[in-house]
Chain A
Amino acid sequence: MELWPFLALMTAVSVVVRFAPFVPERYRLAASMLVLLAFLCWAPFALDGFRTFQLARVATWVIVAMGLNILTGYNGQISLGHGALVALGAYTAALLMDSGEQMGFIDSSPWPFWSAIIMAGIITAVAGFLLGIPALRLSGPYLAIATLALAISFPSILHKYDAFTGGGQGVRISQPPPPPFLDGLIDRNQWLFYLSLLIALVMLLLAWSMLRGPLGRALVAVRDSEVAASAMGINVARTKVAAFTISAFYAGVAGGVYTQVLGTVTPESIDILQSINFLTAIVIGGLASIMGSILGAAALIFLPSDAPDLVGNIPGLNTNIVEKTPGAIQGAIVIFVILLMPYGVAGFLHRLARLRPASVLEWFRSRPASLRAWAADVRQDLADTWESRPWNRERFRGSGREER
């Protein structure tokens, strides 16, 4: 099956179950989640190897996006440097799983993948903790640029200290094969997909339960007003550093999974563009939202690969131009999404869910008018600018004593 029909089918069925009248109210949400899960388990068999691989990567990025959302969406600390944390996790896992040839001083028996991933998460969490402390002093764009500096510097450091990191070649690992009881039923590609899916689900569940509890409320309180939060008894510093640490843990785990799925990691695997893309992803997907993290991660993988084709199919567009400028399509899509949905897709869907049909209709009816209004505004601006040119000024004067 092709990817997009598959995804459409999956969404349609789960939405139907979610709102189905024939399912008892209490079970609707759980049922639709189960339906989604079932579809995802079916996916590697319904789709081809490449798509399965892409879905595995989406699962990896979902973990990163969730972590970044915890830090930026729920806690308001902007990080443009998560790429470096993911790379740290990826390299940690790779070095632990590596057969030890490149690392002279580490115990040369390779770690099993699950403990490598957990260790990657822990090491990165420590790094996040260390970063979170100076980050207490910074805020807003200053924090963003400082973290960007981190993301920029990391590849250079990886290159330079090649005795540890394998330099430009990076580190290769042998990817884990499917366990014996499944051997023959699924191939390695599919197994890796299930692995990443499982880990992603675990991380999402963890996030969901954590965000429902006091920590989640503390994160949001600190984001909205540090002063008010501390007045309510929340330890602001501890909350902010915790956010960094947890977020880094997620990034590290994701890095570990990344190493699994790709089998190799180099300094260029996760560059600064990727760091910036993570932030773009959660903003487009929806800040402070689990669904937003998922949507953003999906956009991250599928936008570059599918958007040019999808857009090229729109009748009337010159396919030649579309082919040559894939970046332009991506950039344009990002801009359009934000223009239409400033709070991200998830934000938009939330508001949609709360709307009543009458107001939706009203909104649709007002669109042409607001479009016309926007066009009229632009025209008015141009007219005003033309009118106020220096050699043609006829302004209505104020009172002026001379008039009395």
Chain B
Amino acid sequence: MLKVSGIRASYGPVLALHDVSLEVEEGSIVTILGSNGAGKTSTLRVISGLLRASAGTVEFRGRRINRRPPDAIVSMGISHVPEGRELFTELSVQENLMLGAYTRRDRAVKTDLDRVLEYFPILAERRRQFAGSLSGGEQQQLAIARGLMSRPRLLLMDEPSLGLAPLVVQEIFRIIATINREERVTILLVEQDAELALSLAKYGYVLETGRVVIADEAARLREDESVRRSYLGY
């Protein structure tokens, strides 16, 4: 569904991605692992159009998207839940969700809103509250819910567990698994919590200083010596 080939990208004079290639199969959960600064977030930003690649291509469902602006990419069915959530803190929960559906012109937005709130009942309670007043876990849920509102086929998630308590993280990952299963949304997940990510994912890529160093099925990655020692801690 998604094919990234030979991406090279930099922030000014700093080269963040040297040569990144990966593939995401439709309907699966794929995870990108790596330490800080490895280029995981940058990869997602290239895919969603926030960062321009100086070389390489990104293909989504057969169409080249790497030169297109973010708003076009969202309309094509990719939704990016960014690192740090980036909510509209001065707007209400409801308004945040409605903004998620900005590119949609069909009538099913309202039913989708209700459906999304079923997944995240706590958001339904806090519908009219300002997004800035929610707790960390609730904000992450809102960010994911907002991402779902555009009815994406591919959901990019950047470190959903960041700064959250373990129990909350488990709950969120449970929801992610449900979304993938029930809504058939393909998920590309960037995570620091390698253990959790690998338990959920089907396939995994390990990034190091802007390059893919390991690409394998998640189950095999969990067994892999080097991965275990570097990223799983044992």
Contact = CB atoms under 8 A, between A and B. Distances in A.
Tell me if chain B binds chain A. yes
A395 B77 CA distance: 11
Interface string A385-404: 00000000101111111001
A398 B75 CA distance: 6
Interface in B60-113: 75-77, 103-106
Query: DSSP class of B's interface residues: helix, strand, loop or mixed?
Result: loop
Given A398-B77, A399-B185, A393 B151 contact: no
A397 B152 contact: no
Interface string A363-404: 000000000000000000000000000000101111111001
Contacts of A393: 105
Interface of A: 393, 395-401, 404
B153 A399 contact: yes
Measured as residues with beta carbon below 8 angstroms from the partner, the interface class of chain B is: 10 to 19
Contact of A399 (B103, B105, B152): B152
B105 A396 contact: no
A395 B184 contact: no
A398 B105 contact: no
Nearest to A390: B105
A395 B75 contact: yes
Contacts of A396: 75-77
A298 B77 CA distance: 56
Interface centre among A397, A398, A399, A404, by most chain B C-beta atoms within 10 angstroms, is A398
Contacts of B183: 401
B31 interface: no
B43 interface: no
A292 B190 CA distance: 47
A404 B183 CA distance: 11
B184 A398 contact: no
Nearest to B115: A401
Contact of A400 (B75, B76, B105, B151): B151
A391 to B, nearest CB: 13
B150 interface: yes
Contacts of A397: 77, 104, 106, 151
13 contacts: A395-B75, A395-B103, A395-B105, A396-B76, A397-B106, A398-B77, A398-B103, A398-B104, A398-B150, A399-B151, A399-B153, A401-B183, A401-B184
Contacts of B77: 396-399
Interface in B140-155: 150-153
Nearest to A398: B151
A397 B184 CA distance: 16
Contacts of A401: 151, 183-184
Contacts of B151: 397-401
Contacts of A404: 184
6 closest A-B pairs by beta carbon, nearest first, are A399-B153, A398-B151, A398-B77, A399-B151, A396-B76, A399-B77
Nearest to A400: B151
Contacts of B75: 395-396, 398
Contacts of B105: 393, 395
B155 to A, nearest CB: 10
B15 to A, nearest CB: 17
A117 B185 CA distance: 76
Nearest to B76: A396
Interface string B139-174: 000000000001111000000000000000000000
A401 B106 CA distance: 13
A400 B106 CA distance: 10
A395 B75 CA distance: 7
A272 B175 CA distance: 62
A231 B41 CA distance: 32
